[in-house]
A and B are shown apart, each in its own frame.
Chain A
């Protein structure tokens, strides 16, 4: 007899989704996780396996609820079965266990926003409870402190801001400023403890980056609260043909986000934290290049954000059509010069970071740098200097445009029109 033959799957049972992945030795299978394990550990140890699973989640697109559910269930099981709790498994539950437990529970909240507000609240409260249990057992442990900080940073948008609208009143919500204060304080303590213990590894992977992402996202959500998201922002800075839409973003003084939206301190805090993390990440024997690039990209973006204000002052004074503004008195000239200098410094620093964030396989990183160079060009009135920066940007955009088959055509023609 020769090999067996199939019938053809149209003739097989209907609606049966194929699960047909074949494993060849040494080869991973679709739908099955490739679990990354920390080096030099016993891969049979259930806590190590849990850590590997968690690492896999952190590095994934974070869109698969099943993985998170699996992690939470495994945490439940380990907690139940460990000898400390009267079980019969010889498992030692360390600080990382509680951190993973808390973070994965908090992570589940985002998949359950539609159930009810209580659902989200419960997830977060349980998450914090797990972390605090761990903190009682392992006081001063940076992994737990950072985890708590992240849970608070994730909780603010998901549980509170999602329930707000333009007319919300601060009396109906917890004090967002206070929560942010707590989160940033924990972040600071966590980093300090890690530094003291020379635990630089957490700066060289997803742990800190994940907290910083949450922090960054939150500040972004707060800054853009009230803005119309129906029409996207990603194509170009389009000016409305009509005089409306302005003032959409202004919150009343009683709005729960009013204070935090008007406080630059958090941006500064985030920037300093990233800079510190970058510094500590470099103390690793083998600093991860992609992690370094991510820190650098964030720093570049934040510096550009910070430069926005002096840029707009300079632009208004130098090129403003408004009579008041263009009447170039000595005072105005001074003010303009000062703003220009400040902006150039910030944009210059941003360019430095974005140059370091360059990724040969990631055209977006070329575009990020080109945009910063255009901003720099805009800060020079002299043609020569301006041309130089535009020229640098153009080269990168041409390359990115080629890589993305025309995505930056419009930006390029604008730039060429400007020249």
Chain B
């Protein structure tokens, strides 16, 4: 069957993700309550089992969590699985933070209708078992989390097939107290760790800042439940991408804080929890200190700035002969003619974005494409798969509830793996200016250091290559983007005068990297434009990205209002209740698959969210790019057209 192109959907509630708003409060009948205990395997109710579990949870790391094998009566859960497979249709949902198949016609099991009950009797039993007084008290006891609501239920069915994933988040929304996931992969078979789909828990550097590498990983089996207390700023977890062609079916949900009228209800408790939610914490200034790379636009040196000021309002003559000569060493010469500059400007002025294909000249590129491809196939040492393996001058973008990717920023080495050293960076050390020429030299100097090891490894695989050569080329390109000549070309094409810049060479590794949708910080400066001029030079040498199946694409969504809007929490599934909540008017305004030698130039105003989709484990390679941002002067009032 043909695969359709992935047009990712916005990450938030939308009318189609929530078919209809349903009443989610339920009340168990006494009969249901009485039979609920029988739906569980009885060994879990042994006092010693319970107490052991309670101790395990109290001692667990990185935060309080627990698991029970063989929770539900085996026949009942097998029937639940059969009902789900035969009765429920799944629909793929994809946003910046997840790709998952959700039960399309039954978004939240709390909203089961009478007809649903008839076709899904086992599922109904399961729901009543999970939310029974017996089990709620059980969970409350072993986790020591306090009372749990019996009227507010919140469960949904998801299946993760090959390529599906859910990136790092802490589940903190509204009145959630305990998160749980009941796993139902194929019964009678062992779900192996290399299938992926594990639940991974993250420790935090400080509250609200998860570490980039997971602390532990839990590989689920049929009829096993995992649960943890939802702790604002601490309970960070993700679902590792499923790597093979298997279905990891699960029911997941939350126990909520007791509601008005219920035993254990405490007025104001819910509001206090909400105030601590990640949503509200995500963008606070203090926490941004833990973001690396820092969004930091550096002033263009005054001599160059003055040169650009002198060009304002000039018709042409932006580029001197020397400029053109310099640019022609890098760029496709056809982009340097007055006619094509004018043409690019016309498109850019009209659309605010322009894709320039074959941006770099063939002469400049030489064998770079092959070189990067060969490097990916024969990387030495192996592709870094943890923070400590990313070696300077490469760095790792953190924290993982916002981003993860490798980058070169041309700045000094920084230790970012603990709160103290980060505080030192933020409060004591001055940040020097990026210098890609120097960074290139650093790579050059480091190269002989690995030569011996490389030579030894080549005895087994003569094709092995180290990262140094291509890194030097990337630095060279970053320097080119920082050149005054390029800024003049940029000014001619965009009509904007750059006054500050930030350039990064980036690599998004398969099975690891992404950026989540983020909007720009508004700059409170009357002399600069509120939007940002951005460029991404795509340098991904591998092919096979076009369908979007492996992610790695860059996408922009426009929001009506820059402010996040409050979305009704009720009825949201974990996946829907993502960290960002955008308004209903979101729409995709730009999408670009990973590719080779294409420059995307855009002027992004603050209402536009942008992200690079998580690159799947089975992707044909890494996504490589040079990412640039320029703060521009507000030289003239904006034109209306």
Q: Which of B205-263 contact A (CB under 8 A)?
A: 243-247
- Interface assignment of B585: CB less than 8 Å from any CB of chain A: yes
Given contacts A8-B603, A9-B558, A240-B188, contact A235 B244 (CB under 8 A): yes
Contact call A395/B460, Cβ cutoff below 8 A? yes
B398 at the interface (CB under 8 A from A): no
Residue of B whose beta carbon sits closest to that of A64: B2
* Chain B residue total in the interface (Cβ 8 A): 93
- Mask, B138-177, CB within 8 Å of A = 1, is 0000000000000000000000001000000000000000
Produce 1/0 per residue, B375-386, CB < 8 A to A: 011111011010
Question: By the criterion CB–CB under 8 Å, are B357 and A27 in contact?
Answer: yes
Give the complex CA separation of A131 and B355 in angstroms: 42
Tell me if A61 and B546 are in contact (CB < 8 A).
yes
Provided the pairs A8-B608, A62-B2 are in contact, do residues A235 and B353 lie with their beta carbons within 8 angstroms? Answer: no
> Which residues of chain A are near B493, meaning CB under 8 Å?
3
Which residues on the B side are within 8 Å of A9 (C-beta)? 351-353, 556, 558, 589-590, 602-605, 608
Binds A, one of B109-117, B312-320, B428-436: B312-320
Is B607's CB under 8 angstroms from A410's CB? no
Assess whether B2 is in contact with A111, with CB atoms less than 8 Å apart. Answer: yes
Q: Is A230 interfacial (CB-CB < 8 Å)? A: yes
B363 to chain A, nearest CB (A): 14
How many Å from the CB of B210 to the closest CB on chain A? 22
Q: Is B588 an interface residue (CB 8 A)?
A: yes
Assembled-state Cα–Cα distance A7/B358 (Å): 26
Instruction: Select which of B192, B344, B608 is within 8 A of A10 by beta carbon.
Output: B608
Specify which of A7, A398, A410 lies most central, judged by the most chain B CB atoms within 10 Å of its CB: A7
Determine the chain A residues whose CB is within 8 A of the CB of B365 once the complex forms.
none
A28-54 interface code vs B (CB 8 A; 1 in, 0 out): 111000000000000000000000000
Contact B603 A6 (CB under 8 A): yes
Identity of the chain A residue whose Cβ is nearest the Cβ of B358 in the assembled complex: A27
Q: Is A6 a contact of B495 with CB atoms below 8 Å?
A: yes
Q: Which residues of the other chain, A, contact B603 by a CB distance below 8 angstroms? A: 6-9
> Are B383 and A6 within 8 A (Cβ)?
no
Contacts of A30 in B (CB 8 A): 355, 357, 598
B349 in contact (CB, < 8 A): yes
- Within 8 Å CB of A18, what residues of B? 351, 353, 589-590
Q: Once the chains bind, are B188 and A241 in contact (CB under 8 Å)?
A: yes
- Residue-by-residue, is A405-416 near B (CB-CB < 8 Å gives 1, otherwise 0)? 111011000000
Residues of B within 8 Å of A241, CB to CB, are: 188-190
B495 touches A4 (CB 8 A): yes
A29 to B511, CA, bound (A): 30
Query: Do A24 and B335 touch (CB < 8 A)?
Result: yes
Q: Is B1 an interface residue (CB 8 A)?
A: yes
Instruction: Find chain A residues with CB under 8 A from B367 CB.
Output: none
Q: Which chain B residues in 355-408 approach chain A with CB under 8 Å?
A: 355-358, 373, 376-380, 382-383, 385
A233 beta carbon closer than 8 Å to chain B: yes
Which chain A positions have C-beta within 8 A of B346? 4
Determine which of A6, A110, A406 lies in contact with B350 in the assembled complex, contact meaning CB atoms within 8 Å. A6
Question: Is the beta-carbon distance between B345 and A3 smaller than 8 angstroms?
Answer: yes
CA–CA, A6 to B561, complex, Å?
20
Of residues 489 through 507 on chain B, the ones whose CB sits less than 8 Å from some CB of chain A are 491-496
Residues 622-636 of chain B: 1 if any A CB is under 8 Å from the residue's CB, otherwise 0?
000000000000001
B304-324 contacts to A, CB under 8 A, are 311-315
**A232 in contact (CB, < 8 A):** yes
A58, B241: Cα distance in complex, Å: 32
Contact B460 A14 (CB under 8 A): no
> With a CB–CB cut-off of 8 A, which chain B residues contact A23?
357
Chain A residues lying within 8 Å of B426, measured Cβ to Cβ, are none
Q: Does A234 contact B (CB under 8 A)?
A: yes
A403 contacts partner chain B, Cβ-Cβ < 8 Å: yes
Q: Which residue of A lies closest to B162 (CB)?
A: A232
Is there an interface contact between B351 and A20, defined as CB atoms closer than 8 Å?
yes
Q: Given A8-B605, A63-B3, A402-B461, do A234 and B244 touch, yes or no (CB 8 Å)?
A: yes
A398–B379 Cα distance when bound, in Å, is: 12
Q: Does A5 contact B (CB under 8 A)?
A: yes
Give the chain B neighbours of A1 by CB distance below 8 A: 313, 315
Per the CB 8 Å criterion, the residue count for chain A at the interface is 61
A403 and B357 contacting across the interface, CB-CB below 8 Å? no
Check A2 against B495 for contact (C-beta < 8 Å).
yes
CB pair B356–A24 under 8 Å, yes or no, is: yes
**Contact partner, A5, options B188, B244, B349, Cβ 8 Å:** B349
> Chain A residues with Cβ under 8 A from B606's Cβ?
10
**Residues of B with C-beta under 8 A to A12:** 351-352, 589
B284 contacts the other chain (CB 8 A): no
Query: Do residues B245 and A5 form an inter-chain contact, with CB atoms below 8 A?
Result: no
Chain A, 235-259, CB within 8 A of any chain B CB = 235-236, 238, 240-242, 244
A410 partner residues in chain B, CB cutoff 8 A:
192, 194
Of the candidates A3, A29, A61, the one having the most CB atoms from chain B within 10 angstroms of its own CB is A3
A322 at the B interface (CB under 8 A): no
When C-beta atoms are compared, the residue in chain A nearest to B376 turns out to be A403
Q: A358 CA to B460 CA in the complex, in Å?
A: 18
Shortest Cβ distance from residue A299 to the other chain B in the assembled complex, whole angstroms: 25
Task: Give every chain A residue within 8 A of B607 (Cβ-Cβ).
Answer: 10-11
Decide: A361 and B377 in contact? CB cutoff 8 A. yes
* CA–CA, A379 and B356, complex, Å: 56
A234-B245 in contact (CB<8A): yes
Contact across chains for B492 and A405 when beta carbons are under 8 A apart: no
A 195-252 contacts with B by CB, 8 A:
230-236, 238, 240-242, 244
CA distance A1 to B603 in the complex (A): 20
With both beta carbons as reference points, the residue of chain B lying nearest to A6 in the complex is identified as B352
Q: Counting CB contacts under 8 A, is B292 at the interface?
A: no
List residues of chain B with CB within 8 A of the CB of A80: none
In the complex, what residue of chain A is closest to B5 when comparing beta carbons?
A: A63
A113 within 8 A of B: yes
CB-CB < 8 A to A3: which residues of B?
341-342, 345, 349, 491-495
Asked whether B509 is an interface residue with its Cβ less than 8 Å from the other chain, the reply is: yes
Given known contacts A63-B2, A231-B186, is B354 in contact with A20 (CB within 8 Å)?
Answer: yes
Within 8 A of B (CB), among A347-362: 360-361
Provide the residues of chain A in CB contact with B349, threshold 8 Å.
Answer: 3-6
A11 CA to B162 CA in the complex, in Å? 38
Q: Which residues of chain A are near B559, meaning CB under 8 Å?
A: 10
Q: Nearest chain A CB to B450's CB is how many angstroms away?
A: 15
| B190–A235 CB distance below 8 A | no
- Determine the chain A residues whose CB is within 8 A of the CB of B604 once the complex forms: 8-10
Which residues of chain A have C-beta atoms less than 8 A from B598's C-beta? Answer: 30
- What are 5 sample pairs from A and B whose C-beta atoms fall under 8 A apart? A2-B315, A8-B608, A24-B332, A398-B460, A405-B511
Residues on A close to B: CB < 8 A? 1-12, 14-18, 20-30, 61-65, 110-111, 113, 230-236, 238, 240-242, 244, 360-361, 363, 395, 398-399, 402-403, 405-407, 409-410
Known: A22-B344, A231-B245, A361-B373. 5 other contacts (CB 8 A): A3-B345, A9-B589, A12-B589, A22-B357, A27-B332
